[in-house]
Amino acid sequence: MKARWHSDWDEVYAKMIKIFTDTAEARRTVLRRKLFEDVQVAPHVQASLDRRFGAGTTPAQAVDRIIADVRAEGDAALRRYSQAIEGVTLSDIVVPREEIDQAYTQLDLGLIDALRLAATEIERFHRKQSRQSWVDWNNEGALGQLIVPLERVGVYTPGGTAPLPSSLLMAVIPARVAGVDEIVVCSPPQRDTGQISPLVLVAADIAGVQTVYKLGGAQAIAALAYGTESVRPVDKIVGPGNIFVVLAKRAVYGVVDIEALPGPTETLVIADETTDPRLAAADLLAQAEHDLLASAILLTPSHQLAEQVQAEVGRQLEELGRAEIAAQALERQGGIVVVPSIEEAITLANEYAPEHLCLLLHDPWRYVGRVRNAGGVFLGERSFEVLGDYVAGPSHIMPTGGTARYASPVNVDDFRKIISLVALNDCALERIGPAAARLAAAEGLTAHEAAVRRRLPEHDNPPTAPGQEEAG
């Protein structure tokens, strides 16, 4: 492993993750957010776009073309793009029941039990999130809200060489708890078998998915949004994916709802002198191994801990199966920032608004009330992020790219809508009707004003202007 990277590993890779001692510099560099549009595709991806769609084609232009073709051609476009992009000839777009049953035989029983345990814990957590319809009756009538589940939801689950059954569970189960009538899944088939990963199929079955489609990429998002001969359109699309999936979700938003535009995953760890450097390093590496764009950052007031974690990262990298990916992610987006205090670390964390905020502190509860922006907060060395990725309970589909300033993790309310209920009587009309008429007149909406005044008693119903009395 050392030879694949560099001949002098101790000198170079022991300091793979950089230490910053100037917080101003850290703000300009490792803590500086990049715009979604600034993400560059890999050269081989651009070459593929040029070959399929013409020289200089951007990912967004390719996605627009795919969506237009799926809208115009339906299943034929799905089959064509599946062959061209994924190298798979689609016979059946819908996964048959026997293929799902066969998937169970391809997995270790312990793995199936782990999926079931994760599903149980995710459901247990989201059952706590209850919100009911309400109606407030009084002498003026009634006002209220109807809390109604969505009818049909589509969940995108990455597949191919890197299937994510955990993400499927994290999206499907909150939707089921919300009462969604029908939940469907799209996942790309594996190139070598032409079938969806058994992990994804078993997870879908355990989660209660009604239909699974062998579809990936932008074409899957287009099918879910607009429908084809084989795919009925949905009301909302959720789930992570590559740049083409994210661009497609952005393009169809408004036709359907989406939960977010998920970007590269990220974690920000705040640690003090009591933190075990081995565990802090392990948490940073667990994030960095996701992909080359993942971000893993440590904030600490202890310069000694910073150096210990830096060394531990180098040592532990050697043991990883995805060591090269983790190393490049740490080198490009990772960093250790030495801060004046934990309070300053919390301030920086709120500015950065991380997807995952890990408080590896002696007394993490002391700082929870100061956290304003984070997708999820993980308190202490026994509440580490990987547990949240799989089995803790909350959905791991969390806001990225700084959107934790205003967004939330996927939850039950993502799959419900509110319908306002208004049932007022004459008593309410007499009290609030004149104000409504005056506001309408101030906005120049005379038909609005008239709709109020025609219902008011005669003495409260003057004409809008002289000479405009109602005829007859």
* pLDDT, tens digit (0-9, with 9 covering 90-100), for 307-357: 999 999 999 998 999 989 999 999 999 999 999 999 999 999 999 999 999
3-state class (DSSP) for residue 80: helix
Catalogue the active-site residues: 355-356
- Would you tell me how many other CB atoms lie within 10 Å of the CB of residue 439? 13
Closest CA to 443 of 422, 418, 464: 464
Tell me how far apart the alpha carbons of residues 294 and 203 are, in angstroms, rounded to a whole number. Answer: 25
Averaged pLDDT, 293-320: 95
Q: Given a cut of 80, is residue 460 above it in pLDDT?
A: no
| Confidence (pLDDT) at 162 | 74
235 closest CA partner among 153, 344, 122: 153
Alpha helices in 227-276 (DSSP H): 243-252
Average pLDDT over residues 237-256: 96
CATH code linked to domain 2-30+263-406: 3.40.50.1980
Q: Is the pLDDT of residue 5 over 70?
A: no
Q: If you average pLDDT over residues 79-103, what whole number do you get? A: 94
Examine the pLDDT at 471 and tell me if it is beyond 70.
no
What mean pLDDT is reported for the chain?
92
Band (459; pLDDT cuts 50, 70, 90): low
- The tally of CA atoms less than 13 A away on the side-chain side of residue 445 is 10
CB neighbour list of residue 455: distance below 8 Å, 6 or more residues apart? 429, 433
Position 466 scores a pLDDT of: 45
pLDDT band at 469 (very low <50, low <70, confident <90, very high): very low
Q: Is the dihedral of CA 195, 197, 200, 205 positive or negative?
A: positive
Q: What is the pLDDT of residue 461?
A: 61
Kindly give, in sequence order, each residue whose CB lies less than 8 Å from that of residue 383, ignoring residues fewer than 6 positions away.
392
Query: Is the per-residue pLDDT at 468 higher than 70?
Result: no
pLDDT for 171-183, tens place per residue? 999 999 999 999 9
The ranges assigned to domains in the chain are 2-30+263-406, 97-260+413-417, 425-472
pLDDT at 2 over 60: no
Backbone angles phi, psi at 367, to 5 degrees: -110, -5
Cβ pair 308, 273 in contact under 8 A: no
Q: Is pLDDT above 60 for 74?
A: yes
Phi, psi angle pair for 245, to nearest 5°: -65, -45
Q: What is the DSSP string of 396-416?
A: S----TTGGGT---S-GGGGE
**Average pLDDT rounded to a whole number, residues 429-454:** 96
Region of poorest pLDDT, from 90-104, 150-164, 348-362, 392-406:
150-164
Same fold, 2-30+263-406 and 97-260+413-417: yes
Band of pLDDT at residue 292, cut at 50, 70 and 90 = confident
User: Which residues partner with 19 through β-bridges?
Assistant: 336
The DSSP code sequence of 148-175 is EE-SEEEEE---TTS--HHHHHHHHHHH
In angstroms, the CA 244 to CA 447 distance is 47
Of 290, 462, 232, the closest CA to residue 470 belongs to: 462
**Ordered alpha helix ranges (H), 211-300:** 217-226, 243-252, 277-288
Q: What is the DSSP letter of 53?
A: H
> In the structure, what pLDDT confidence band is assigned to residue 35 with cuts at 50, 70 and 90?
confident
Which of the four pLDDT bands, split at 50, 70 and 90, describes residue 11? low
- Report the CATH superfamily, name and number, of domain 97-260+413-417: Nitrogenase molybdenum iron protein domain (3.40.50.1980)
At 3, the pLDDT band (50, 70, 90 cuts) reads very low
Tell me the backbone φ, ψ of residue 387, rounded to 5 degrees: -60, -40
Q: What percent of the chain stands above pLDDT 70? A: 93
The secondary structure of 96-134 as a DSSP string is PHHHHHHHHHTS-HHHHHHHHHHHHHHHHHHHT-----E
Task: Give the number of other CB atoms < 10 A from CB of residue 388.
Answer: 22
Q: What is the DSSP letter of 147?
A: E
DSSP for residue 446: H
87 versus 471: the higher-pLDDT residue is 87
Window from 4-18, 203-217, 258-272 with minimum mean pLDDT: 4-18
> Does the pLDDT at position 187 exceed 90?
yes
- What is the reported pLDDT for 4? 46
pLDDT band per the 50, 70, 90 thresholds, residue 185: very high
Q: How far apart are the first and last CA of the chain?
A: 94
Q: How long a stretch of residues is the chain?
A: 472
Confidence of residue 472 (pLDDT cuts 50, 70, 90): very low
272: pLDDT confidence band, cut at 50, 70 and 90?
very high
* % of residues, the chain, pLDDT over 90: 84
Query: Can you give the pLDDT at residue 192?
Result: 82
Q: pTM of the predicted model, to two decimals?
A: 0.90
CA atoms within 13 A of residue 426's CA, in its CB half-sphere: 5
Which of 299, 287, 321, 323 lies closest to 398 in space, CA to CA? 287
